[in-house]
Amino acid sequence: MAIVSGLRGIGKRVVNAVWRLGYAARFFVMTLFYSGTSFRRFRLIEKELFSSGVMSLIIILVAGMFVGMVLALQGYETLKRYGSESALGSLVALSLVRELGPVLAALLFASRAGSAMTAEIGLMKATEQISAMELMAVNPIARVVAPRFWAGVISMPLLAALFSAMGVFGGYVVGVVNIGVDEGSFWSQMQASVDFQHDILNGVLKSVVFGLAVTAIALFEGYDAPPTAEGVSGATTRTVVESSLAILMLDFILTAFMFQGA
């Protein structure tokens, strides 16, 4: 009997997971469908741009600066062995623009803004604000979900660009000002190896995809959270875990498409 109930448990979980995935897909389509209304009332998106974009600025800038500084220190130690310290600029810039900028900014964004979105919407649901909106014939997806979604999608590439730019600056401070790598070769090697279309635009594209994934996951988890204190805290945890995993997996897929054989 234990085997039967075990099998039954597995089946129930699988069915539940597929069910939830379908619900998430419908939620995502509804969000896109009702986006028009929130673009007509841009004030709503702007408010969310402030709370997810502007409020994430400090953590993004400080983190970017330190990542660039560490890259320069570590890169210098390794490059020194091969006598090619002058390639430090291209090492710092390429790793930031292609990978670390979009990925780390998205991870920070998921834990800083994504978790806040989930908690906010989950709590709105727990305190029955969402049901109240429906009673007043206000569509909660158009009023609450869609503005947050677009704010996340807009602010993610901007944050990633700021992260990369700060990282390059941090690398410059440590590499050129502190260690004393030649300034001319630092910038010229960087410019020779970073291609605008191939590296920078692909990095921006990556961060747009990450922004879509993180906000979609955060909003769905919040909307689907059980309306209890426990449910909201569980949903917030799931947001951070799921969006971090999604970012890293998507990064692998995107990198395989963008940079293969190049």
Residue 82 tokens, joined:
């091969």
Alpha-carbon gap, residue 89 to 41, rounded angstroms = 44
Q: Which of residues 50-89 bind other proteins (CB under 8 A)?
A: 50, 53-54, 57
Phi, psi values for residue 139, rounded to 5°: -75, 115
Residues contacting residue 92 through CB under 8 Å, at least 6 positions apart: 68, 71, 72, 75, 167, 168, 171, 175, 190
Handedness of CA 18, 19, 20, 25 (dihedral sign): positive
Check: CB of residue 145 under 8 Å from CB of residue 106.
no
Residue 92 tokens, joined:
């710092």
Of the candidate residues 72, 106, 130, 204, the single one contacting other proteins (CB under 8 A) = 204
Alpha-carbon gap, residue 34 to 135, rounded angstroms = 18
Shortest Cβ 200–other proteins spacing (Å): 5
When asked if residue 159 is in the footprint of other proteins (CB under 8 A), the reply is yes
Q: Binding residues for other proteins, how many (CB under 8 A)?
A: 29
Of the candidate residues 113, 176, 181, 190, the single one contacting other proteins (CB under 8 A) = 190
Task: Determine the interface stretch with other proteins among 3-11, 45-53, 111-119, 252-260 (rule: CB under 8 A).
Answer: 45-53
Of the candidate residues 69, 100, 161, 216, the single one contacting other proteins (CB under 8 A) = 161
When asked if residue 162 is in the footprint of other proteins (CB under 8 A), the reply is yes
When asked if residue 182 is in the footprint of other proteins (CB under 8 A), the reply is no
Task: Determine the interface stretch with other proteins among 129-137, 199-207, 219-227, 253-261 (rule: CB under 8 A).
Answer: 199-207
Alpha-carbon gap, residue 152 to 47, rounded angstroms = 11
When asked if residue 192 is in the footprint of other proteins (CB under 8 A), the reply is yes
> What does the binding site for other proteins look like in residue numbers (CB under 8 A)?
46-47, 49-50, 53-54, 57, 93, 97, 155, 157-159, 161-162, 164-166, 168, 187, 190-192, 194-196, 199-200, 204
